[in-house]
Structure 1
C-alpha cells in the first residue's frame, strides 16, 4: 500500500483529548513496520524457504495478513490526514510527494534490470503489446484497475490505495466523510456480497482497449486532482466528485480481480475509518462494531463463496482456510495494537514503520538481484534469509534517507507555500452537528508506508 500519514499526524475533525499525539498513535507505526516485514519475509520464502512456505500456506497466507493490516491502518489515518488541515491541495501535494519519488526510483531500477538483459521485464512494464497504456497505468498507479499486470508484484495494492484517496476526497467534498464512515463500510460489505460475484472484470479494457482506457483514466484523474486543488470551492468540489466517479467506475467495471474482493478491500479501509471515528467519539461504538462485523462477514463470506483454485498444487479447502485464518489474524493484530495504544511504542518498531514504504517497494528488487547472483536453492536455506533481511533493512534505510525524506520535506514546504491551512473547499467538513469547528490540534508529520504483498491466495496472487 502506499505511505500513510504518520501516527504523529493528528486525526479527524472531532473532539480530541489533549493527550493524543505521536506517542499514543505510535502503535500505527508499529503495525506498519510489522506488516512490511511480514510481506518481505513472505516473499523471501519464495526464494529461500520454499518447503517451509508450502507448509505455512496450508494454514495462513502471511501476504494477505500484511495487505489487510496495511489497508486497516490506511483507513484509520488517511481521512484524518485530510481533515487535519481541511485542504485538498495540501492533501494531494502530500500524497504525491510521499509516493512517487520512491515509486519512480524502484520502477527505474526494474526497467534498467530489464533493458540490460539482466532480468526479464514483467509484461506490465516493458513487454506489453500496448506499452503506452502500461506506462500510463503505472504512472496513475491504477494498473490493477486497468487490466495491466504490475511491474512489481507488490504494486497492485497502490491501485486500491489511490481509489481510497479519490473516494475519501469526494466524500469530504460532499461533507459525508466525518460521520458516515460506518455506513459506507457497511454498504461496501453488502455490495461485495450482493453484487461482487456478478459484476464483470476488466470489461472496459477488453472492449475499448487497454491504451484507450489508460489514456482516458490518466486524463480524467489528472483533471480531477488539478481541479480539486483549486482555491474556488465549487471547482474543487467538482474535481473531487470527478475523481470519486472515476474510482467507482473502475472498481465496478474494470478491476483485474473479482469485484467482491475489490469492494471488500475498500470496506476494510472504511472499517478502519469507522474505528477511528468511534475512538474519537464522532460515531457510536455500536455503529463502528456493526460496520466491522459487516466487513468481516463480507470478506469471509466472499472468500468462502468465490475463491477457487488457480495454481497447481492448491486445493480449494486449503485456499479458503488460509484466507479465513488470515482475516482473523489481521483482526487480532489490529485489536492488539489498539489495546496497547496507550503504552509507549518501542523505538525500533516506530523506526521500522517509518521506513516500511521502502521495505515494501525495495524488497522485490533485491529478490530479483538475488535471483541474478545466487539463484534459488532447491531446498530450504534459512541462513540465506538472514542476509536478505539485513539487506532489505539497510537499503530501505538508505532509500528513506536519500529519496523519501528529502522529497517529503520538499512536499511539505510546497504545501505550506501554496495551500492555506483551511481553504473554502468544504465549510461543513471537520465540524460538529452544531457547526462548530471540532478539528484537533495538528502535530508533527512523519513519513509512513503502504500495504504490500503479492497474491499467494486470491488476494496475494
Structure 2
C-alpha cells in the first residue's frame, strides 16, 4: 500500500538482514584496501572493494528512502542524517589534513563542504576515500530537496533518475568513477528498491525482485565490480539492489540468524567509523614500509582501526546522534495509540544507519 503524507501507518520495522549486508560490505572494503587478495597479477583488490562500496550505497539509498516514506519531515530527516555523518566526517577530514601535512584553501573547503569528489578533485591522499561521504551528503540534500518541493510522491522520479545516470555512464564510458553524476545510480538503485519493497511500484515488480537467488547474484555483483568484464559494470547498481532485495524475500533461515549474531551487528554498527579511520591510518606509520614490513604491521593497523571505530561509534558519534533525536523528537500525535503499539513493528530508528 502506498504511504502518503499525513496517512496513518505503523513505523517501518527493523530488518536484521541489512545489518548482515552492511557488515559484509565494510569487511569487503577493508579487505580490498588492506589485505593481499589472490596473486597480484589477478588484480582482485579493486573489485573486492568496489563490491563492498556498491552494497554500502544500495543500503544507503534503501534506508534513506524508507525513512522518508515513513516520515516525510524534511527538517527531522536533515538534522538526523547530517548529525549522523558530518561530525565524524569533519573529524576524519581534519585528521586527514594533519596526516597530509596540510592542504590548500580549496582542498579544505571542498572537503568540509563535501564536494571534494567533483572535478577538479580536491581530495587529499589520507582522505581520498572520503569521496563516498561527499556522494552520500549530496544524496541527502538532493532527496530532501526533491521531497520538499514535490512531497513524498516526488520519490517516484528516482527510478527515472537512476536509469538516466546509467545511460550517461554508458554514453561517456564510465564503468566506475568517484564523480557523483556517474556514480549516484548505485544509491538510486537502492532507493528504487525501497519503493518496490514498500509497494510503490506495484506487485509485479515486487515479485520480480523476490524471485532470483541471492547466491547466484552475489558472484554477478562481484563480476560487475571488475572493469574487465565488458558491459557488466554498467549493471552493477541493479545487480546489487536485486541481490539485497531478493534476500529480503527469500534468504534462508540460517542466513537470517547469522545476521543477528552479536559480532555481525557490532561490525554493522561501527561500519561508518571503520571506513573513516582505516583510510587515514593506512597513510601513517602503520601503513608505511616495503611489502613485507607493511603487511607485518597490518594486525596493528586493523586493531587501531577497530579501537578508533569503537570509541567513535559509542562515545563521540552517539552524543551527536542523541542530540539530533532530541532536536527532532516527534510530537505525541505522531505515535501510534497504546493499543496499536503492542502490535506495531520496531521503529526505523532502531535500524543501524548505513553511515
In the superposition, the TM-score normalised over structure 1's length comes to 0.58
Q: Any idea what SS the aligned residue of 2:33 has?
A: helix
CA separation in 1, counterparts of 2:170 and 2:205?
24
Greater Cα offset, 78-87 or 316-325: 316-325
Q: 1:341 to 1:97 in 2, by over 3 A?
A: farther
* Residue 31 in structure 1 maps to residue 21 in structure 2: yes
Tell me which residue corresponds to 2:276.
361
Deviation at 1:68, TM superposition (A): 0.9
Deviation at 1:355, TM superposition (A): 0.7
CA separation in 2, counterparts of 1:32 and 1:378?
31
* Residue 409 in structure 1 maps to residue 319 in structure 2: no
**Over residues 277-326 of structure 1, what are the superposed CA-to-partner deviations in whole Å (9 max), with x where a residue is unaligned?**
222223214456899xxxxxxxx9xx99xx9xxxxxxxx97374894797
- Whether contact under 8 Å (1:143, 1:159) holds in the other structure is yes
CA separation in 2, counterparts of 1:97 and 1:150?
22
- Whether contact under 8 Å (2:54, 2:186) holds in the other structure is yes
* Residue 158 in structure 1 maps to residue 133 in structure 2: yes
- Whether contact under 8 Å (2:4, 2:69) holds in the other structure is yes
Question: 5+ unaligned residues in a row in structure 2: which ranges?
Answer: 210-219, 335-343
CA separation in 2, counterparts of 1:380 and 1:50?
15
Tell me which residue corresponds to 2:31.
41
**Corresponding residue pairs, total:** 325
- Whether contact under 8 Å (1:62, 1:326) holds in the other structure is no
Q: Any idea what SS the aligned residue of 2:291 has?
A: coil
**Over residues 356-386 of structure 1, what are the superposed CA-to-partner deviations in whole Å (9 max), with x where a residue is unaligned?**
00011010122122456x52325994x6544
Larger helix fraction of residues: 2
- Whether contact under 8 Å (2:68, 2:152) holds in the other structure is no
CA separation in 2, counterparts of 1:288 and 1:179?
20
CA separation in 2, counterparts of 1:415 and 1:328?
34
Q: Any idea what SS the aligned residue of 1:368 has?
A: coil
> What does 1:132-147 correspond to in 2, within 5 Å?
132-147=105-120
Tell me which residue corresponds to 1:167.
142
Q: 1:287 to 1:389 in 2, by over 3 A?
A: same
- Whether contact under 8 Å (1:88, 1:169) holds in the other structure is yes
- 2:74 corresponds, among 75, 78, 88, to 88
CA separation in 1, counterparts of 2:238 and 2:141?
28
CA separation in 2, counterparts of 1:169 and 1:285?
27
- 1:340 corresponds, among 243, 247, 251, to 251
Q: 1:362 to 1:422 in 2, by over 3 A?
A: farther
In the superposition, the TM-score normalised over structure 2's length comes to 0.74
CA separation in 2, counterparts of 1:103 and 1:169?
20
Tell me which residue corresponds to 1:266.
184
Deviation at 1:194, TM superposition (A): 5.3
> What does 1:65-214 correspond to in 2, within 5 Å?
65-115=51-101, 126=103, 131-151=104-124, 152-175=127-150, 177-178=152-153, 180-181=155-156, 183-193=157-167, 197=171
